[in-house]
Amino acid sequence: MGRLFVAALLLFVAGCAGGENVVPGVGGGKFAVLLGKAPMYTGQVTPGSAVDRIKKRGKLIIGGSQDAPLLSQLDPTSGELTGFDAYLGKLLAQYIIGSPQTELLSATSETREPLLANGTVDVIIQTYTITPARKERVAFAGPYYQSGQSIAVRRGTSGITKPADLAGKTVIAGANTPAIGAIKAVAPTARVVEFGSDPECLTALKQGRGEAYVQDQAILVADASKDSELQLVGEPFTEDPYGIGIKHGDAEFTKFVNDWLREIGKSGLWQDVWKQTIGTVVTGDAPSPPAIAS
Amino acid sequence: MSLVLEGFLNTVALTLLSFAGALVVGLVVAVLRIVPVPLLRGVGTAYVEVWRNIPLLAWLVLFVFGLPEVGVTMPLFWTAFTAIALYEAAFVAEALRSGVRSVASGQGEAARALGLTVQQSLRHVILPQAGRRVVQPLANIAIALTMATALAGVVGVVDMTRAAQRINLELAQPLLVFTGAGLCYLVMAAGIGFGARVLERRLA
Protein backbone atom coordinates (compact mmCIF):
# COMPACT_ATOMS: atom_id res chain seq x y z
CA MET A 1 0.00 0.00 0.00
CA GLY A 2 2.77 2.36 1.02
CA ARG A 3 4.75 1.53 -2.07
CA LEU A 4 1.76 2.06 -4.31
CA PHE A 5 1.21 5.45 -2.74
CA VAL A 6 4.83 6.44 -3.39
CA ALA A 7 4.58 5.27 -6.98
CA ALA A 8 1.40 7.27 -7.48
CA LEU A 9 3.03 10.31 -5.92
CA LEU A 10 6.06 9.96 -8.19
CA LEU A 11 3.84 9.68 -11.24
CA PHE A 12 1.94 12.75 -10.15
CA VAL A 13 5.12 14.75 -9.66
CA ALA A 14 6.49 13.57 -12.99
CA GLY A 15 3.24 14.63 -14.63
CA CYS A 16 3.45 18.08 -13.12
CA ALA A 17 7.07 18.51 -14.07
CA GLY A 18 6.27 17.55 -17.67
CA GLY A 19 3.44 20.03 -17.71
CA GLU A 20 5.71 22.85 -16.65
CA ASN A 21 8.51 22.11 -19.06
CA VAL A 22 6.40 21.75 -22.15
CA VAL A 23 5.04 25.07 -23.27
CA PRO A 24 1.67 24.15 -24.68
CA GLY A 25 0.87 25.20 -28.18
CA VAL A 26 4.44 25.50 -29.36
CA GLY A 27 5.55 23.09 -32.04
CA GLY A 28 9.28 22.79 -32.54
CA GLY A 29 11.98 25.25 -31.64
CA LYS A 30 11.54 27.47 -34.67
CA PHE A 31 8.08 28.63 -33.81
CA ALA A 32 9.22 29.31 -30.25
CA VAL A 33 11.60 31.92 -31.70
CA LEU A 34 8.67 33.69 -33.35
CA LEU A 35 6.76 33.52 -30.12
CA GLY A 36 9.59 35.35 -28.41
CA LYS A 37 9.18 38.19 -30.88
CA ALA A 38 5.40 38.24 -30.68
CA PRO A 39 3.72 41.41 -29.40
CA MET A 40 1.43 41.47 -26.37
CA TYR A 41 -1.53 43.75 -25.86
CA THR A 42 -1.00 46.26 -23.08
CA GLY A 43 -3.84 48.70 -23.67
CA GLN A 44 -7.21 49.07 -22.00
CA VAL A 45 -9.64 46.14 -21.92
CA THR A 46 -13.34 46.99 -21.89
CA PRO A 47 -15.06 44.83 -19.27
CA GLY A 48 -17.40 42.32 -20.89
CA SER A 49 -15.78 42.62 -24.32
CA ALA A 50 -14.51 39.66 -26.35
CA VAL A 51 -10.93 40.41 -25.32
CA ASP A 52 -11.96 40.51 -21.66
CA ARG A 53 -13.78 37.19 -22.00
CA ILE A 54 -10.83 35.48 -23.70
CA LYS A 55 -8.37 36.86 -21.14
CA LYS A 56 -10.47 35.63 -18.22
CA ARG A 57 -10.92 32.22 -19.81
CA GLY A 58 -7.17 31.96 -20.37
CA LYS A 59 -7.39 30.50 -23.85
CA LEU A 60 -8.49 31.47 -27.31
CA ILE A 61 -11.05 29.15 -28.89
CA ILE A 62 -10.47 28.89 -32.63
CA GLY A 63 -12.63 27.29 -35.28
CA GLY A 64 -10.32 25.71 -37.86
CA SER A 65 -9.02 22.61 -39.59
CA GLN A 66 -6.70 19.78 -38.66
CA ASP A 67 -6.07 18.54 -42.17
CA ALA A 68 -4.98 21.53 -44.24
CA PRO A 69 -1.29 21.10 -45.16
CA LEU A 70 0.83 24.24 -44.67
CA LEU A 71 -2.14 26.06 -43.19
CA SER A 72 -3.54 24.16 -40.24
CA GLN A 73 -2.47 20.56 -39.88
CA LEU A 74 -2.25 18.42 -36.80
CA ASP A 75 1.19 16.82 -36.50
CA PRO A 76 0.37 13.26 -35.40
CA THR A 77 3.72 12.72 -33.64
CA SER A 78 3.89 15.91 -31.60
CA GLY A 79 0.16 16.51 -31.37
CA GLU A 80 0.76 20.12 -32.35
CA LEU A 81 -1.02 22.17 -34.96
CA THR A 82 1.32 23.53 -37.58
CA GLY A 83 0.80 25.88 -40.49
CA PHE A 84 0.11 29.49 -41.33
CA ASP A 85 -3.42 29.70 -39.93
CA ALA A 86 -2.50 27.68 -36.85
CA TYR A 87 0.53 29.83 -36.01
CA LEU A 88 -1.42 33.06 -36.48
CA GLY A 89 -3.99 31.70 -34.03
CA LYS A 90 -1.31 31.02 -31.44
CA LEU A 91 0.22 34.45 -31.96
CA LEU A 92 -3.19 36.06 -31.54
CA ALA A 93 -3.65 34.15 -28.27
CA GLN A 94 -0.20 35.35 -27.20
CA TYR A 95 -1.26 38.92 -28.01
CA ILE A 96 -4.47 38.75 -26.01
CA ILE A 97 -3.62 36.44 -23.11
CA GLY A 98 0.16 36.60 -22.95
CA SER A 99 0.62 32.91 -23.65
CA PRO A 100 -0.15 30.86 -26.79
CA GLN A 101 -3.08 29.00 -25.22
CA THR A 102 -5.47 27.95 -27.94
CA GLU A 103 -8.14 25.34 -28.37
CA LEU A 104 -9.06 24.24 -31.87
CA LEU A 105 -12.60 23.24 -32.63
CA SER A 106 -12.95 21.53 -35.98
CA ALA A 107 -15.15 23.75 -38.09
CA THR A 108 -16.60 23.05 -41.51
CA SER A 109 -18.13 25.34 -44.06
CA GLU A 110 -21.57 24.32 -42.75
CA THR A 111 -20.78 25.10 -39.14
CA ARG A 112 -18.62 28.21 -39.31
CA GLU A 113 -21.35 30.84 -39.23
CA PRO A 114 -23.40 29.18 -36.45
CA LEU A 115 -20.24 28.58 -34.36
CA LEU A 116 -19.50 32.30 -34.46
CA ALA A 117 -23.09 33.41 -34.03
CA ASN A 118 -23.72 31.35 -30.89
CA GLY A 119 -20.35 32.17 -29.39
CA THR A 120 -18.90 28.64 -29.40
CA VAL A 121 -15.67 29.95 -30.90
CA ASP A 122 -13.97 33.33 -30.57
CA VAL A 123 -12.55 33.41 -34.09
CA ILE A 124 -12.54 31.34 -37.27
CA ILE A 125 -9.11 31.03 -38.90
CA GLN A 126 -9.69 28.59 -41.73
CA THR A 127 -8.92 29.84 -45.25
CA TYR A 128 -12.16 31.77 -44.82
CA THR A 129 -12.54 33.78 -48.01
CA ILE A 130 -14.12 37.19 -47.50
CA THR A 131 -17.18 37.41 -49.75
CA PRO A 132 -20.05 39.94 -49.82
CA ALA A 133 -22.61 37.20 -48.95
CA ARG A 134 -20.62 36.10 -45.92
CA LYS A 135 -20.01 39.67 -44.77
CA GLU A 136 -23.74 39.95 -44.11
CA ARG A 137 -23.52 37.22 -41.49
CA VAL A 138 -19.97 37.41 -40.19
CA ALA A 139 -17.51 40.18 -39.33
CA PHE A 140 -14.11 39.76 -40.94
CA ALA A 141 -10.76 41.02 -39.68
CA GLY A 142 -8.11 41.20 -42.33
CA PRO A 143 -7.57 40.04 -45.01
CA TYR A 144 -4.54 38.38 -43.47
CA TYR A 145 -3.56 36.40 -46.55
CA GLN A 146 -4.04 36.81 -50.27
CA SER A 147 -4.43 33.44 -51.87
CA GLY A 148 -5.29 32.25 -55.32
CA GLN A 149 -6.63 29.15 -57.00
CA SER A 150 -4.29 27.35 -59.40
CA ILE A 151 -4.72 24.53 -61.87
CA ALA A 152 -2.80 21.27 -61.76
CA VAL A 153 -2.85 18.50 -64.35
CA ARG A 154 -1.19 15.12 -64.85
CA ARG A 155 2.22 15.63 -66.41
CA GLY A 156 1.91 15.46 -70.18
CA THR A 157 -1.71 16.60 -70.35
CA SER A 158 -2.23 18.84 -73.35
CA GLY A 159 -4.98 21.31 -74.10
CA ILE A 160 -5.12 22.97 -70.69
CA THR A 161 -2.91 26.05 -70.61
CA LYS A 162 -5.28 28.67 -69.20
CA PRO A 163 -8.37 28.75 -66.96
CA ALA A 164 -10.78 29.08 -69.90
CA ASP A 165 -9.51 25.72 -71.21
CA LEU A 166 -11.38 24.05 -68.34
CA ALA A 167 -14.64 24.62 -70.26
CA GLY A 168 -16.43 21.35 -70.90
CA LYS A 169 -13.84 19.37 -68.93
CA THR A 170 -14.24 17.39 -65.74
CA VAL A 171 -12.43 19.28 -63.01
CA ILE A 172 -11.61 17.98 -59.54
CA ALA A 173 -11.90 20.24 -56.52
CA GLY A 174 -11.77 19.87 -52.77
CA ALA A 175 -15.22 19.66 -51.19
CA ASN A 176 -16.37 22.99 -49.74
CA THR A 177 -13.35 24.92 -51.03
CA PRO A 178 -13.41 28.27 -52.89
CA ALA A 179 -12.20 26.34 -55.95
CA ILE A 180 -15.76 25.28 -56.81
CA GLY A 181 -16.96 28.83 -57.28
CA ALA A 182 -13.74 29.81 -59.04
CA ILE A 183 -14.11 27.04 -61.64
CA LYS A 184 -17.73 27.99 -62.34
CA ALA A 185 -16.66 31.61 -62.80
CA VAL A 186 -13.96 30.97 -65.41
CA ALA A 187 -15.52 27.96 -67.13
CA PRO A 188 -19.29 27.66 -66.55
CA THR A 189 -19.52 24.49 -68.64
CA ALA A 190 -16.90 22.62 -66.61
CA ARG A 191 -18.16 19.64 -64.60
CA VAL A 192 -16.94 19.84 -61.00
CA VAL A 193 -16.23 16.63 -59.08
CA GLU A 194 -15.55 17.04 -55.37
CA PHE A 195 -13.59 14.87 -52.98
CA GLY A 196 -13.19 15.34 -49.26
CA SER A 197 -9.45 15.89 -48.89
CA ASP A 198 -6.41 16.93 -50.86
CA PRO A 199 -4.89 13.40 -51.04
CA GLU A 200 -8.20 12.05 -52.35
CA CYS A 201 -8.33 14.76 -55.01
CA LEU A 202 -4.77 13.92 -56.07
CA THR A 203 -5.52 10.20 -56.28
CA ALA A 204 -8.64 10.96 -58.28
CA LEU A 205 -6.66 13.14 -60.69
CA LYS A 206 -4.03 10.44 -61.19
CA GLN A 207 -6.74 7.80 -61.71
CA GLY A 208 -8.28 9.92 -64.44
CA ARG A 209 -11.47 10.97 -62.63
CA GLY A 210 -10.90 14.43 -64.06
CA GLU A 211 -8.58 16.27 -66.40
CA ALA A 212 -7.53 18.99 -63.98
CA TYR A 213 -7.45 19.75 -60.27
CA VAL A 214 -8.09 23.25 -58.95
CA GLN A 215 -6.83 24.07 -55.47
CA ASP A 216 -5.13 26.79 -53.48
CA GLN A 217 -1.74 27.45 -55.11
CA ALA A 218 0.26 26.88 -51.92
CA ILE A 219 -1.23 23.41 -51.45
CA LEU A 220 -0.66 22.51 -55.11
CA VAL A 221 2.96 23.65 -54.93
CA ALA A 222 3.42 21.46 -51.86
CA ASP A 223 1.82 18.51 -53.66
CA ALA A 224 3.93 19.00 -56.79
CA SER A 225 7.11 19.14 -54.72
CA LYS A 226 6.35 15.62 -53.47
CA ASP A 227 4.87 14.16 -56.65
CA SER A 228 6.58 14.48 -60.02
CA GLU A 229 3.46 13.29 -61.84
CA LEU A 230 1.76 16.57 -61.00
CA GLN A 231 2.20 19.69 -63.11
CA LEU A 232 1.02 23.21 -62.35
CA VAL A 233 -0.52 25.29 -65.13
CA GLY A 234 0.34 28.98 -65.06
CA GLU A 235 -0.18 31.35 -62.17
CA PRO A 236 -3.16 31.58 -59.78
CA PHE A 237 -6.26 32.81 -61.61
CA THR A 238 -8.26 34.14 -58.66
CA GLU A 239 -7.66 36.40 -55.71
CA ASP A 240 -9.05 34.97 -52.51
CA PRO A 241 -8.63 37.25 -49.53
CA TYR A 242 -8.68 35.14 -46.37
CA GLY A 243 -10.15 36.85 -43.30
CA ILE A 244 -10.42 36.03 -39.63
CA GLY A 245 -14.07 35.39 -38.91
CA ILE A 246 -15.55 37.20 -35.91
CA LYS A 247 -19.07 37.34 -34.49
CA HIS A 248 -21.24 39.58 -36.66
CA GLY A 249 -21.50 43.09 -35.29
CA ASP A 250 -18.53 42.94 -32.91
CA ALA A 251 -16.79 46.00 -34.34
CA GLU A 252 -14.60 46.43 -31.27
CA PHE A 253 -13.01 42.98 -31.51
CA THR A 254 -12.71 43.27 -35.30
CA LYS A 255 -10.78 46.50 -34.91
CA PHE A 256 -8.67 44.88 -32.18
CA VAL A 257 -7.66 42.00 -34.45
CA ASN A 258 -7.08 44.36 -37.38
CA ASP A 259 -4.73 46.45 -35.24
CA TRP A 260 -2.84 43.30 -34.30
CA LEU A 261 -2.61 42.21 -37.95
CA ARG A 262 -1.20 45.62 -38.89
CA GLU A 263 1.31 45.39 -36.08
CA ILE A 264 2.67 41.95 -37.02
CA GLY A 265 2.68 42.97 -40.69
CA LYS A 266 4.82 46.00 -39.89
CA SER A 267 7.21 44.22 -37.52
CA GLY A 268 7.95 41.44 -40.03
CA LEU A 269 6.46 38.71 -37.85
CA TRP A 270 3.84 37.97 -40.51
CA GLN A 271 6.62 37.35 -43.05
CA ASP A 272 8.46 35.09 -40.57
CA VAL A 273 5.34 32.96 -40.11
CA TRP A 274 4.95 32.77 -43.89
CA LYS A 275 8.57 31.63 -44.31
CA GLN A 276 8.14 28.84 -41.74
CA THR A 277 4.96 27.53 -43.35
CA ILE A 278 3.93 28.35 -46.92
CA GLY A 279 7.44 29.63 -47.67
CA THR A 280 8.84 26.12 -47.22
CA VAL A 281 7.28 25.09 -50.54
CA VAL A 282 6.72 28.36 -52.43
CA THR A 283 9.99 29.72 -53.74
CA GLY A 284 10.98 33.35 -53.50
CA ASP A 285 10.71 35.99 -50.83
CA ALA A 286 7.76 36.37 -48.53
CA PRO A 287 5.07 38.54 -50.10
CA SER A 288 3.98 41.65 -48.27
CA PRO A 289 0.87 41.11 -46.20
CA PRO A 290 -2.36 42.31 -47.81
CA ALA A 291 -3.56 45.77 -46.84
CA ILE A 292 -6.12 45.64 -44.03
CA ALA A 293 -9.45 47.03 -45.16
CA SER A 294 -10.66 49.96 -43.01
CA MET B 1 -31.74 26.04 -58.87
CA SER B 2 -30.45 23.55 -61.41
CA LEU B 3 -27.98 22.40 -58.77
CA VAL B 4 -30.82 21.61 -56.35
CA LEU B 5 -32.61 19.68 -59.08
CA GLU B 6 -29.47 17.80 -60.07
CA GLY B 7 -28.79 16.87 -56.47
CA PHE B 8 -32.36 15.78 -55.81
CA LEU B 9 -32.61 13.71 -59.00
CA ASN B 10 -29.27 12.05 -58.31
CA THR B 11 -30.39 11.12 -54.81
CA VAL B 12 -33.70 9.75 -56.09
CA ALA B 13 -32.00 7.81 -58.89
CA LEU B 14 -29.30 6.46 -56.60
CA THR B 15 -31.92 5.39 -54.04
CA LEU B 16 -34.21 3.65 -56.54
CA LEU B 17 -31.44 1.92 -58.50
CA SER B 18 -29.46 0.87 -55.43
CA PHE B 19 -32.55 -0.52 -53.73
CA ALA B 20 -33.51 -2.45 -56.86
CA GLY B 21 -29.98 -3.82 -57.04
CA ALA B 22 -30.01 -4.65 -53.33
CA LEU B 23 -33.31 -6.54 -53.73
CA VAL B 24 -31.94 -8.69 -56.56
CA VAL B 25 -28.62 -9.49 -54.86
CA GLY B 26 -30.29 -9.82 -51.46
CA LEU B 27 -32.79 -12.33 -52.82
CA VAL B 28 -29.99 -14.49 -54.22
CA VAL B 29 -28.07 -14.32 -50.94
CA ALA B 30 -31.21 -15.12 -48.92
CA VAL B 31 -31.81 -18.21 -51.08
CA LEU B 32 -28.17 -19.24 -50.55
CA ARG B 33 -28.67 -18.94 -46.80
CA ILE B 34 -31.87 -21.01 -46.83
CA VAL B 35 -31.04 -23.91 -49.16
CA PRO B 36 -30.01 -27.12 -47.41
CA VAL B 37 -26.52 -27.21 -48.97
CA PRO B 38 -23.76 -26.44 -46.42
CA LEU B 39 -21.37 -24.93 -49.00
CA LEU B 40 -23.97 -22.52 -50.39
CA ARG B 41 -25.08 -21.59 -46.89
CA GLY B 42 -21.49 -20.83 -46.04
CA VAL B 43 -21.18 -18.57 -49.07
CA GLY B 44 -24.37 -16.74 -48.12
CA THR B 45 -23.27 -16.30 -44.51
CA ALA B 46 -19.84 -15.07 -45.56
CA TYR B 47 -21.43 -12.50 -47.89
CA VAL B 48 -23.67 -11.10 -45.18
CA GLU B 49 -20.97 -10.97 -42.52
CA VAL B 50 -18.38 -9.33 -44.76
CA TRP B 51 -20.64 -6.73 -46.33
CA ARG B 52 -22.66 -5.55 -43.38
CA ASN B 53 -19.77 -5.49 -40.92
CA ILE B 54 -17.68 -2.96 -42.83
CA PRO B 55 -18.96 0.65 -42.88
CA LEU B 56 -20.51 1.83 -46.12
CA LEU B 57 -18.17 4.81 -46.22
CA ALA B 58 -15.20 2.44 -46.19
CA TRP B 59 -16.73 0.45 -49.05
CA LEU B 60 -17.34 3.63 -51.05
CA VAL B 61 -13.76 4.83 -50.63
CA LEU B 62 -12.44 1.34 -51.46
CA PHE B 63 -14.58 1.15 -54.60
CA VAL B 64 -13.87 4.67 -55.84
CA PHE B 65 -10.12 4.73 -55.18
CA GLY B 66 -9.29 1.02 -54.99
CA LEU B 67 -10.95 -0.39 -58.11
CA PRO B 68 -9.07 1.91 -60.54
CA GLU B 69 -5.82 0.56 -59.05
CA VAL B 70 -6.76 -2.90 -60.32
CA GLY B 71 -7.87 -1.54 -63.67
CA VAL B 72 -11.64 -1.16 -63.13
CA THR B 73 -12.79 2.42 -63.60
CA MET B 74 -16.51 3.07 -63.64
CA PRO B 75 -18.23 6.47 -63.60
CA LEU B 76 -18.59 7.76 -60.03
CA PHE B 77 -22.37 7.40 -59.97
CA TRP B 78 -22.22 3.74 -60.96
CA THR B 79 -19.37 3.04 -58.57
CA ALA B 80 -21.45 4.48 -55.73
CA PHE B 81 -24.50 2.53 -56.95
CA THR B 82 -22.55 -0.75 -56.91
CA ALA B 83 -21.14 -0.21 -53.44
CA ILE B 84 -24.47 0.85 -51.92
CA ALA B 85 -26.43 -1.95 -53.62
CA LEU B 86 -23.98 -4.68 -52.53
CA TYR B 87 -23.83 -3.29 -48.98
CA GLU B 88 -27.60 -3.00 -48.53
CA ALA B 89 -28.09 -6.44 -50.14
CA ALA B 90 -26.69 -7.99 -46.95
CA PHE B 91 -29.45 -6.35 -44.91
CA VAL B 92 -32.11 -7.24 -47.49
CA ALA B 93 -30.96 -10.87 -47.42
CA GLU B 94 -31.32 -11.03 -43.64
CA ALA B 95 -34.78 -9.42 -43.75
CA LEU B 96 -35.93 -11.92 -46.39
CA ARG B 97 -34.42 -14.86 -44.53
CA SER B 98 -36.06 -13.90 -41.24
CA GLY B 99 -39.35 -13.53 -43.11
CA VAL B 100 -39.14 -17.09 -44.41
CA ARG B 101 -37.98 -18.36 -41.01
CA SER B 102 -40.94 -16.64 -39.32
CA VAL B 103 -43.36 -18.98 -41.08
CA ALA B 104 -43.94 -21.81 -38.62
CA SER B 105 -42.15 -24.99 -39.65
CA GLY B 106 -45.44 -26.87 -39.31
CA GLN B 107 -46.71 -24.97 -42.36
CA GLY B 108 -43.97 -26.39 -44.56
CA GLU B 109 -44.37 -29.86 -43.11
CA ALA B 110 -48.12 -29.77 -43.64
CA ALA B 111 -47.63 -28.69 -47.26
CA ARG B 112 -45.21 -31.56 -47.86
CA ALA B 113 -47.63 -33.99 -46.13
CA LEU B 114 -50.33 -32.89 -48.55
CA GLY B 115 -48.05 -33.98 -51.39
CA LEU B 116 -46.77 -30.59 -52.57
CA THR B 117 -43.24 -30.53 -53.91
CA VAL B 118 -40.62 -28.28 -52.30
CA GLN B 119 -41.18 -25.69 -55.01
CA GLN B 120 -44.93 -25.83 -54.73
CA SER B 121 -44.93 -25.52 -50.95
CA LEU B 122 -42.59 -22.54 -51.21
CA ARG B 123 -44.70 -20.84 -53.83
CA HIS B 124 -48.13 -21.44 -52.43
CA VAL B 125 -47.61 -21.73 -48.68
CA ILE B 126 -44.40 -20.21 -47.38
CA LEU B 127 -43.53 -17.26 -49.62
CA PRO B 128 -46.99 -15.62 -49.56
CA GLN B 129 -46.89 -15.60 -45.76
CA ALA B 130 -43.27 -14.50 -45.63
CA GLY B 131 -43.93 -11.79 -48.23
CA ARG B 132 -46.18 -9.59 -46.15
CA ARG B 133 -44.01 -10.01 -43.06
CA VAL B 134 -40.96 -8.57 -44.80
CA VAL B 135 -42.67 -5.47 -46.20
CA GLN B 136 -42.00 -3.29 -43.16
CA PRO B 137 -38.42 -4.53 -42.55
CA LEU B 138 -37.66 -3.87 -46.24
CA ALA B 139 -39.19 -0.40 -46.00
CA ASN B 140 -36.88 0.27 -43.04
CA ILE B 141 -33.92 -0.78 -45.15
CA ALA B 142 -35.10 1.37 -48.06
CA ILE B 143 -35.34 4.43 -45.80
CA ALA B 144 -31.90 3.73 -44.29
CA LEU B 145 -30.58 3.38 -47.84
CA THR B 146 -32.07 6.75 -48.81
CA MET B 147 -30.14 8.37 -45.98
CA ALA B 148 -27.01 6.35 -46.80
CA THR B 149 -26.89 7.77 -50.34
CA ALA B 150 -25.70 11.03 -48.73
CA LEU B 151 -22.35 9.28 -48.25
CA ALA B 152 -21.94 9.14 -52.03
CA GLY B 153 -21.38 12.89 -51.85
CA VAL B 154 -18.08 12.21 -50.13
CA VAL B 155 -16.78 10.38 -53.17
CA GLY B 156 -17.70 12.95 -55.76
CA VAL B 157 -21.35 12.26 -56.63
CA VAL B 158 -23.43 15.43 -56.57
CA ASP B 159 -26.31 14.19 -54.43
CA MET B 160 -28.79 16.21 -52.39
CA THR B 161 -26.41 16.68 -49.45
CA ARG B 162 -23.45 17.65 -51.61
CA ALA B 163 -25.63 20.11 -53.54
CA ALA B 164 -26.75 21.63 -50.24
CA GLN B 165 -23.12 22.01 -49.18
CA ARG B 166 -22.25 23.74 -52.43
CA ILE B 167 -25.17 26.13 -52.14
CA ASN B 168 -24.27 26.86 -48.53
CA LEU B 169 -20.74 27.69 -49.58
CA GLU B 170 -22.19 30.65 -51.44
CA LEU B 171 -25.12 31.64 -49.25
CA ALA B 172 -23.47 30.99 -45.86
CA GLN B 173 -26.91 30.11 -44.45
CA PRO B 174 -26.43 26.53 -43.22
CA LEU B 175 -29.58 26.33 -41.08
CA LEU B 176 -31.83 27.33 -43.95
CA VAL B 177 -30.06 25.23 -46.61
CA PHE B 178 -29.84 22.05 -44.56
CA THR B 179 -33.41 22.34 -43.30
CA GLY B 180 -34.43 22.43 -46.96
CA ALA B 181 -32.29 19.42 -47.80
CA GLY B 182 -33.66 17.61 -44.74
CA LEU B 183 -37.21 18.22 -45.92
CA CYS B 184 -36.38 16.64 -49.29
CA TYR B 185 -35.18 13.49 -47.52
CA LEU B 186 -38.25 13.57 -45.30
CA VAL B 187 -40.55 13.63 -48.33
CA MET B 188 -38.70 10.68 -49.89
CA ALA B 189 -38.72 8.64 -46.69
CA ALA B 190 -42.38 9.41 -46.04
CA GLY B 191 -43.15 8.26 -49.59
CA ILE B 192 -41.42 4.95 -48.95
CA GLY B 193 -43.33 4.52 -45.68
CA PHE B 194 -46.62 5.25 -47.40
CA GLY B 195 -45.85 2.82 -50.23
CA ALA B 196 -45.00 0.13 -47.68
CA ARG B 197 -48.35 0.56 -45.92
CA VAL B 198 -50.25 0.27 -49.20
CA LEU B 199 -48.27 -2.82 -50.19
CA GLU B 200 -48.78 -4.41 -46.80
CA ARG B 201 -52.54 -3.95 -47.03
CA ARG B 202 -52.60 -5.46 -50.51
CA LEU B 203 -50.66 -8.54 -49.45
CA ALA B 204 -52.66 -9.04 -46.28
Domain boundaries, chain B: 2-203
Task: Specify the pLDDT at position A9.
Answer: 53
DSSP state letter for A267:
H
Query: Does domain A29-147+241-280 sit in CATH 3.40.50.720?
Result: no
CA distance B139 to B192: 7
Architecture in CATH of B2-203: Orthogonal Bundle (1.10)
- Average pLDDT across chain A, whole number: 85
pLDDT tens digit at each of 204 positions of chain B: 588 899 999 999 999 999 999 999 999 999 999 888 999 999 999 999 999 999 999 999 999 999 988 888 889 999 999 999 999 999 999 999 999 989 888 888 899 899 998 888 888 888 888 988 999 999 999 999 999 999 998 888 989 998 998 888 888 788 899 999 999 999 999 999 999 999 989 887
CB contacts, 8 Å: B174 with chain A: 110-111, 113-114
CA distance B100 to B32: 13
The model's pTM: 0.74
Phi and psi at residue A248, in whole multiples of 5°? -60, 130
CA distance A121 to A104: 9
* Other beta carbons within 10 Å of A43: 7
Helical H runs in B36-173?
A: 38-52, 56-61, 76-101, 105-113, 118-121, 127-148, 160-171
Share of chain A above pLDDT 90, in %: 44
DSSP state letter for A290:
P
Interface contact A209-B155, CB threshold 8 A: no
Mutation for B interface: A124, A206, A209, A248, most B CBs within 10 A = A209
Among A7-11, A43-47, A254-258, the range with the most confident prediction by mean pLDDT is A254-258
* ipTM field: 0.76
Please list the helix, strand and coil fractions of chain A in percent, rounded to the nearest 5, in that order.
40, 25, 35
B 105-164 → A contacts, CB under 8 A? 153-156, 158, 162
Task: Specify the pLDDT at position A3.
Answer: 60
Interface contact B173-A114, CB threshold 8 A: no
CA distance A104 to A61: 6
The model's pLDDT over A16-55, given as tens digits with 9 standing for 90+, comes to: 444 333 444 444 568 888 888 889 898 888 888 999 999 9
Nearest C-alpha neighbor of A182 from the set A131, A111, A245: A131
CA distance A246 to B196: 49
Domain ranges of chain A: 29-147+241-280, 149-233
B 87-116 → A contacts, CB under 8 A? none
Which listed CATH number (3.40.50.720, 1.20.1440.230, 3.20.20.10, 3.40.190.10) goes with A149-233?
3.40.190.10
CB contacts, 8 Å: A181 with chain B: 169-170
DSSP state letter for A293:
P
Q: Residue B159 burial by CB count (10 A; 0-12/13-18/19+): exposed, middle or buried?
A: buried
Mutation for B interface: A67, A110, A127, A202, most B CBs within 10 A = A110
In Å, what is the CA distance from A129 to each residue of A64, A124, A139, A244, A255? 13, 11, 12, 9, 18
Helix axis angle, B127-148 relative to B2-34, nearest 10°?
Answer: 140
